[in-house]
Structure 1
Amino acid sequence: MAAQDRLTATLTHAEINAPTPLRPLPLLRVDGLSVSYGPHEVVTNVGFELGRGESLALIGESGSGKSTIARAVLRLLPSGGRATGRVAFEGQDVLGMSERGFRPLRGRAIGFVPQDPANSLNPVRTIGAQAQEAAALLDEPGRAIRKRLILETFAEVGLDNPQRVYDSYPHQLSGGMLQRVLIGLAILPRPALLVADEPTSALDVTIQKRILDLLTRLQHDLKISLLLITHDLAIAAERANSLVVLKDGVIQEAGRTAAVFSSPASAYARKLRADVPALNPDRYAALRDVGFRTLKTGDAATPKIEVSAVTKTFTVDGTTLTATSDLSFTVPAGTTHALVGESGSGKTTAVRLLLGLEQPDIGTISVAGEQITGRSPEALRSAWRHLQLVYQNPFTSLDPTWTVEQLVREPLDRFKIGTRRERDARVREALADVGLGEHLLSRKPAALSGGQRQRVAIARSLVLKPDVIVLDEPTSALDVSVQAGIVEVLLTLQASLGLTYVFVSHDLALVRQLAHTVSVMHRGRIVEHGTAADIFDNPQQPYTKSLLASIPSGVADPANPPHARPRLMAAAE
C-alpha cells in the first residue's frame, strides 16, 4: 500500500478498539497542595507534574511560595507548617506517610541542594567527615569503600583534586567548589529526584554557568529529574523543560518552557520577563543618557575619581599575595563606573582602597580632587562625608536593634549636621528619594522586605548628600523584580542629583543596564576597559569574552546542550 493510501484506508474494528497507550506515571505529581502557618495560608491549591528525567522550574519573587513547595515535597516544613493536598512520589503520597516511612526516601530517592553552601556545611568539620555522613545513606558498611565512592563522586561533579577537597575545611574552598560539594553529596546515593533551591544565586556568573551546566549534565547522564527553584526567568528558560510561575503562593501560569517564555499569558509572568536584565539591556537607556552626554560633551576633563597605578599586597602565612596590581581608572562626575570580574579578581580590595579603609603599597587615589591615599582615618573624616558606601547585604549591614529613623539619621548625628528639626526633615527627604514612606520610620530591619532594607541602606548613604557612592554588589541578594526597582531608584537619583557611582558586581547583564564605563578585573589587574558598549558589543580579551558568554540568554541552545559541553573543572574557579 502506498504511503498516501495508508492515510485514507478504512480502519479495522481491531484498530478502532485498540487500547490507548498508557501515559507514563510522572515521577512527582503535586495536586491541590496548600501550606498554612496557623491561620495564614502561604501556598494555595498548587499542582504540577514532573516526568522522569525531565526538569521543571518553580519561579517567582521572594514570598511566592517556591521554597515552601520544595520543603513540602521534602517534608521539611518548619514547626507550625501544615501541608494539605497530595504530593505523590513514584505513586506514593508522601504527605500521608509517617516520618519514619518517609525517612528512607529523603536523601536516597529525593536529593536536595540548598541555596547557600557556606551556611549548609559545618565550618569546624572537614568536608570528608561531613561527606561520610551523607555516604551512610548508601548502606555500605566499609568506610574505605564509602570514601572511594565519595572521591569518585567529587570527580564526577568536576572537583579536580577530590582528595584535597575531602581533607579541606569549608573555608578553604571557593563558593563554586562548595556548591559542587553539596551537589556531589546530593547525587551520591543516585536519587531519582533532585531539588535545587536557588543553587547559583550567590555565585559569580561564570561559576553559575558551570554549576548549571553540571546539574543539566547530571540530569542527562544519571536520568535524574530536576526540580529547580529560581527567581531568574532567563535561567529557568535555559534549563527547564517546564515552568510554573508563582505569586503569593498561587500559580499564575504553567506550561512548557518555550510557550511560557515566548508568549507569557499572565501579567505577572510578563513583568518577570521584563525585569530580567539579560533580556532587557536598554531598559534604562533614557535615564543613563544623562551620564552618556557628560562623556560625549567632554565634561569629563576633570574626573570625580582618579585611581592611578595602585598596587596592594597582603602577606598570609608568610606568602605575599598581590590583591591589585597597577590599577588605574577614572570616573567622570555624574556617571557610573563598573568594576567586574569573578571572586578573587580584586574588586573588593579596590573598593577598600577607594574608601581609604586600606592603603596601597604604591599609587594614588583622589576623590573630587582630595587625595585619599596616605591619610589617617581622622584626616579622612571630611572625605567620607562626600564618599559613601552601600553594602552587599543590608540585613547584616544595618543594626537590627535600630529603627529606620535611627539608621538613616545616624550619619547626620555623627557629623553634627543641622538642628534636630533639620535632621528630621533630611531623613524624610532621603526616604522619599528612595521611594519609602514615613510609615516605615519606626520599623526595624527584620520588619522590612529585602528590597525595603536595601532602599534604607541607600537612603542612609544619601542623607549626607554625598558626591560619590560606592555600590558593592547592592542587588546580589535580591530578586530580579526587587533589583529592577533598586536600579531605577539609583539611576533616577543620579540623573536628578548628578551622583557619581562606582558599581561593583559580577552580574554583567545588570552592569550593561546601569554602567557608563566598565573595567574588567582578573587576578588583581584590569584586563580591559572602555564604555559599556565597547565592552559588551566588541570585547577584545578572551577573559572578557568568557564572562560575557556566561550571561544567561534565556534561550536553550539545542545545537550545544549543556550536557554535551566540555567539562569545566573547578581549577578554573
Structure 2
Amino acid sequence: MASQDKLTQRPDTLSALLTPPLLKVDGLSVAYGRRTVVDDVGFDLARGRSLALIGESGSGKSTIAKAVLRLLPDGAHADGRIAFNGQDILKQPERHFRTLRGRAIGFVPQDPANALNPVRTIGAQAQEAAALTDEPNKALRKALILDTFAEVGLDNPGRVYDSYPHQLSGGMLQRVLIGLAVLPRPALLVADEPTSALDVTIQKRILDLLSRLQHDLDISLLLITHDLAIASERADKLVVLKDGTVQEAGRTQDVFSAPSSAYARKLHADVPALNPDRYAPLRDPGFHRLDGREGTATKIAVEGVSKTFSVDGKSLTAVDRISFSVAAGTTHALVGESGSGKTTTIRLLLGLDEPDAGRITVSGETISGSDRTSQRAVWRHLQLVYQNPFTSLDPTWSVEQLVREPLDRYRIGTVAERRAQVREALANVGLGDHLLQRKPGALSGGQRQRVAIARTLVLRPDVIVLDEPTSALDVSVQADIVEVLLSLQANLGLTYVFVSHDLALVRQLAHTVSVMRKGRIVEHGTVTDIFDTPRQPYTRALLDSIPAGVHASQTATHKAANLRQEIFA
C-alpha cells in the first residue's frame, strides 16, 4: 500500500505513464461564428491529478472548460477531440452526454451569487444534485446532502439546507457549490475561478477543501485561473494560454521555475506574491516622506472613531474606536476579512456616514459634522476609485463625458480649459486622445479602470481612496494599474487610502498598514513591520493565506507537493 501511495503521488512514474488519462484534449479549436477563439489546444489529465489552465481574460480558458462540459453557447463550433474515459464526448449526442454532466463531470462556477437561484432554498436546489446519485428515497437523499455539507466544512448543515442564498456568506455559498458538485462523486471536477471573489483566508480554505476532496475522493481537478501563484501551488501540471493558443505546458515545477515563453515569464513577473519589491523605486519617495526626510505633514487623521448600526432591532458596532494617521504623499492600507469594518471606515472618511464618536480630519479640515457646502469643498480634494470599472462608469457616456463630468459639476474653467484638463488626466494614466469618443463597452477592463482613475484625477485631488481598484482585473492589467498609481504618487505627491483583501498587492503598494478585525484595528505599522514581524495571530493567519507558489527551498517545495493531502480543519 505504501509503494502504491508513492506511485499516486508522482506524476512521472511508470504507473502514471501506463494508465490512460481520464481527460485528453487533442487539436481543440473553438469558433464563435467566423471568429476562432481557441486554436489547436491539447493537454491530458490523469486520474486523481490536477491541471490548471492559466491566462488573462480572452485567453480561452473558460471556453475550453465549456467545451469539456458541452456548454458552449449557440453559434459556437468545436473541432478536434475531447476524450473522457476514452470516449470522444464532442461526437456524442447531447442526450448521451447529459448522463455524464453532473454525474461523472462536475462543475464549480465562478460566482456563487449568480449560480444559485435566489428564490429557492439551498436544500431544494441540492435535491436536484442529489437526484443525479440515482437514490430514489428523498429522505436518504437529504441525509446524503447533509453529510456532504458537513464534509465540505459547513457548520450546522441543517440550517444551511433550509436557508436561502442571501442568508449565507460568499464563502459558505462557494462551499455549497463545491458540495453540490462533488455530491454525485464525479471523476472530473472543473473549477472555473472558484475563489476570485473571496477574501484571502476564505480563498485558502476553499482551495484547501478542493485539494482535500481531490485527494480523498480521487477526483481529477481541472482548475481555471488567472493567478499563477494559486495554479503553481494547487496543480500538478500547467497549460499557459494566450489568445486561444498554448504558449507553454508541462509539469508545474518546470513551468514555474523556468518558464520558456515570454508570455509565461510576464505572467510570473506580474504576480504580486512572487514579486513583492517590483515597484520599490516608485515607492521610495513615499518612504522618504514617511520617515520625515522631507518634513511631511499628516494628511489624514482618524481619532477614536466609532460607528454603530441598528440591524433587525439589534445594535451592531461596525467600527470600534479606531485611530490611524496617513502622512502626505504615502499609501495607507486597510486590510482584513469581509465584515472587518474596512468599508464603513472609508464611508466615514468620505463623509458618506457620520461617526457616533471620534474625529476625522483631512488636510486639517474636519469631515464629520460639516455642512453641505463645506463637505462639497472637501470632496473636491478627496476622491474615490470604485472597485468595479464595469459598473462604476455610465455605459451611455463617452470617455470625454465621463472624465469631464466632475469639472462640469464644480464649474471649473472654460469649455476649452476643461477639454485640456480631460486630455491631461487621460495622459497621466497612459490613455490617448483617440479614446475620447469611445464608450465603456468599447474599452478593455484595464482601460476602463484607467478612465475611472483619470476621472478622479481631473479635479487634482490631494487624497484618493482606492476601494479594491484592481480586484476585477487580470493580474497583468492589475500590474499596469499599480504602476500608474505609484507613478502618479511619486510625481504628484498624492495620498492614497487603499482598501484590499489582497495582501500580496498591499505589500507592493502600501507604506503603512492597519489590520482590521470585527471593527477594531488589531495591528498597525509600516508595511515591512506588518509583513516581516507580525505580532498578532490574526495577522499571521492573513499572511499565511497568501499563495506563495513553488519556491526553490526544500521546505516550500515539500509543502506544495503535499497540499492536496492536508486535512481541512
Query: TM-score, structure 1 length as denominator?
Result: 0.94
1:558 aligns with 2:558: yes
Alpha-carbon distance between aligned partners in 2 of 1:94 and 1:300, rounded to the nearest angstrom:
68
Counterpart of 2:439, as a letter, is K
Change (3 A) 1:242 1:303: same
CA shift, 1:563, in A, is 3.9
The alignment partner of 1:227 has SS state of strand
1:192 counterpart (187, 193, 204): 187
1:567 aligns with 2:562: no
Q: Tell me which residue corresponds to 1:247.
A: 242
Would the aligned equivalents of 2:50 and 2:236 in 1 still touch at CA under 8 Å? yes
Q: Trace 1:329-408 onto structure 2 (pairs within 5 A).
A: 329-408=324-403
Alpha-carbon distance between aligned partners in 2 of 1:524 and 1:66, rounded to the nearest angstrom:
39
Alpha-carbon distance between aligned partners in 2 of 1:199 and 1:462, rounded to the nearest angstrom:
34
1:277 aligns with 2:278: no
Q: Tell me which residue corresponds to 1:319.
A: 314
The alignment partner of 1:478 has SS state of coil
Q: Tell me which residue corresponds to 1:508.
A: 503
Alpha-carbon distance between aligned partners in 2 of 1:436 and 1:161, rounded to the nearest angstrom:
52
Number of corresponding residues: 549
The alignment partner of 1:395 has SS state of coil
The alignment partner of 2:306 has SS state of strand
CA shift, 1:558, in A, is 2.5
In the alignment, structure 1 segments of 5+ residues that lack a partner are 1-19, 569-573
Change (3 A) 1:377 1:81: farther
CA shift, 1:567, in A, is 2.1
Counterpart of 1:144, as a letter, is A
1:218 counterpart (203, 208, 213): 213
Q: Tell me which residue corresponds to 1:91.
A: 86
CA shift, 1:82, in A, is 0.8
CA deviation string 1:511-568 (max 9, x = no partner): 0000000000000000000000000011000000000000001026535723443423
Q: Tell me which residue corresponds to 1:7.
A: none
CA shift, 1:297, in A, is 2.3
1:534 counterpart (497, 511, 529): 529
CA shift, 1:174, in A, is 1.0
Counterpart of 1:383, as a letter, is V
Alpha-carbon distance between aligned partners in 2 of 1:198 and 1:158, rounded to the nearest angstrom:
20
Counterpart of 1:167, as a letter, is D
Counterpart of 1:74, as a letter, is L
1:495 aligns with 2:480: no
Alpha-carbon distance between aligned partners in 2 of 1:44 and 1:98, rounded to the nearest angstrom:
23
CA shift, 1:143, in A, is 1.6
Counterpart of 1:333, as a letter, is A
CA deviation string 1:302-360 (max 9, x = no partner): 31100000000101001111100011000000000000001110000001000000001
The alignment partner of 2:558 has SS state of coil
Alpha-carbon distance between aligned partners in 2 of 1:430 and 1:80, rounded to the nearest angstrom:
41
In the alignment, structure 2 segments of 5+ residues that lack a partner are 1-14, 551-555
Would the aligned equivalents of 1:451 and 1:483 in 2 still touch at CA under 8 Å? yes
The alignment partner of 1:485 has SS state of helix
2:516 counterpart (518, 521, 535): 521
1:161 aligns with 2:156: yes
CA deviation string 1:193-244 (max 9, x = no partner): 0000000111111111000000000000000000001111111110000000
Q: Trace 1:412-491 onto structure 2 (pairs within 5 A).
A: 412-491=407-486
Q: Tell me which residue corresponds to 1:102.
A: 97
Would the aligned equivalents of 1:55 and 1:226 in 2 still touch at CA under 8 Å? yes
Would the aligned equivalents of 1:59 and 1:229 in 2 still touch at CA under 8 Å? yes
The alignment partner of 1:379 has SS state of helix
Counterpart of 2:558, as a letter, is P
1:297 aligns with 2:292: yes
Q: Tell me which residue corresponds to 1:11.
A: none
**Identity, % of aligned pairs?**
76
Alpha-carbon distance between aligned partners in 2 of 1:21 and 1:404, rounded to the nearest angstrom:
54
1:545 aligns with 2:546: no
Alpha-carbon distance between aligned partners in 2 of 1:46 and 1:495, rounded to the nearest angstrom:
43
Alpha-carbon distance between aligned partners in 2 of 1:78 and 1:408, rounded to the nearest angstrom:
36
Counterpart of 1:370, as a letter, is E
Alpha-carbon distance between aligned partners in 2 of 1:381 and 1:119, rounded to the nearest angstrom:
37
The alignment partner of 1:334 has SS state of coil
Question: Which sits farther off after the overlay, 336-345 or 443-452?
Answer: 443-452
The alignment partner of 1:129 has SS state of helix
Alpha-carbon distance between aligned partners in 2 of 1:504 and 1:84, rounded to the nearest angstrom:
45
Please report the RMSD computed on the Cα atoms of aligned residues, expressed in angstroms: 1.3
Counterpart of 1:151, as a letter, is L
Counterpart of 1:393, as a letter, is N
Alpha-carbon distance between aligned partners in 1 of 2:398 and 2:437, rounded to the nearest angstrom:
5
Alpha-carbon distance between aligned partners in 2 of 1:544 and 1:21, rounded to the nearest angstrom:
41
Alpha-carbon distance between aligned partners in 2 of 1:559 and 1:340, rounded to the nearest angstrom:
26
CA deviation string 1:476-517 (max 9, x = no partner): 111110000000000000000100000000000000000000
Would the aligned equivalents of 2:335 and 2:515 in 1 still touch at CA under 8 Å? yes
Alpha-carbon distance between aligned partners in 2 of 1:565 and 1:299, rounded to the nearest angstrom:
50
CA shift, 1:21, in A, is 11
Counterpart of 1:271, as a letter, is K
Alpha-carbon distance between aligned partners in 1 of 2:436 and 2:134, rounded to the nearest angstrom:
56
CA shift, 1:283, in A, is 0.2
Q: Trace 1:73-92 onto structure 2 (pairs within 5 A).
A: 73-92=68-87
CA shift, 1:440, in A, is 1.4
The alignment partner of 1:253 has SS state of strand
The alignment partner of 2:146 has SS state of helix
Alpha-carbon distance between aligned partners in 1 of 2:430 and 2:50, rounded to the nearest angstrom:
39
Alpha-carbon distance between aligned partners in 2 of 1:559 and 1:327, rounded to the nearest angstrom:
37
Would the aligned equivalents of 1:409 and 1:460 in 2 still touch at CA under 8 Å? yes
Counterpart of 2:493, as a letter, is G
1:227 aligns with 2:228: no
Question: Which sits farther off after the overlay, 194-203 or 115-124?
Answer: 115-124
Alpha-carbon distance between aligned partners in 2 of 1:250 and 1:147, rounded to the nearest angstrom:
44
Change (3 A) 1:377 1:86: farther
Would the aligned equivalents of 1:300 and 1:332 in 2 still touch at CA under 8 Å? no
Would the aligned equivalents of 2:384 and 2:467 in 1 still touch at CA under 8 Å? yes
1:256 counterpart (251, 259, 267): 251
Counterpart of 1:248, as a letter, is D
Q: Tell me which residue corresponds to 2:41.
A: 46
The alignment partner of 1:122 has SS state of coil
1:29 counterpart (6, 24, 46): 24
CA deviation string 1:251-293 (max 9, x = no partner): 0000000000000000100000000001100000000000000
Would the aligned equivalents of 1:300 and 1:333 in 2 still touch at CA under 8 Å? no
Alpha-carbon distance between aligned partners in 2 of 1:510 and 1:545, rounded to the nearest angstrom:
16
Would the aligned equivalents of 2:113 and 2:165 in 1 still touch at CA under 8 Å? yes
The alignment partner of 2:387 has SS state of coil
